[in-house]
Amino acid sequence: MSLLLISGSLRDGSTNTAVLRTAQAIDPDTELFAAMGALPGSFKNLLEWLVGGGEAYRKPIAWINVSGPAAPTGAADGHASLRKVVSYLSMEIVDEACVRIPVARNEIGEDGLVADPGIREQLAAALAALREGAARVETF
């Protein structure tokens, strides 16, 4: 099973993209796609295209929030919006894989990856939870 990782940012030095590049290094059976913003227009367009076709029906989905420690809500409003949109598509949210892993910009190395073993462990656990949740969805 291959996982699609979608970053909410195209910005050079993006913490979001760095975390997903790190996830890809941990689990090479993933593909990375970068979009712009919290729920960027291109991502919204993708979701709109999926509404009519049914391709997303019962597909497992999860998100990783890497908002730094200074973000008090941890982008909770963005999560609520995303949860609402994917529910319209009848996607299967894998709640145990939806995690907040705060990552500060200074934790990203010059190679664009996160080296901190604790963060990498949390990423690996989230990916494993998504794969486990996806396997449950596929058995229905």
Question: CATH number of the domain that 11 lies in?
Answer: 3.40.50.360
Tokens 């901190």 sit at which residue?
Answer: 116
pLDDT band at 41 (very low <50, low <70, confident <90, very high): low
Question: Pick from 100, 66, 98, 101: which is nearest to 83 by CA?
Answer: 98
Question: Pick from 139, 134, 140, 136: which is nearest to 30 by CA?
Answer: 134
Question: Pick from 130, 139, 67, 135: which is nearest to 96 by CA?
Answer: 130
Q: What mean pLDDT value characterizes the chain?
A: 84
Q: ∠ CA(44), CA(48), CA(30), 5° rounding?
A: 65
Rounded to an integer, what distance in angstroms lies between the CA atom of residue 125 and that of residue 131? 10
- pLDDT tens for 88-101 read 888 999 999 999 89
What's the structural domain count of the chain?
Answer: 1
* Tokens representing residue 102 in the block: 């705060």
- pLDDT tens for 88-138 read 888 999 999 999 899 988 999 999 999 999 999 999 999 999 999 999 887
Phi-psi region of 39 (alpha: psi -120 to 50; beta: other; left: phi over 0): beta
Residue 140: the pLDDT is: 55
Residue 98: the pLDDT is: 93
What range does the domain containing 50 cover? Answer: 3-138
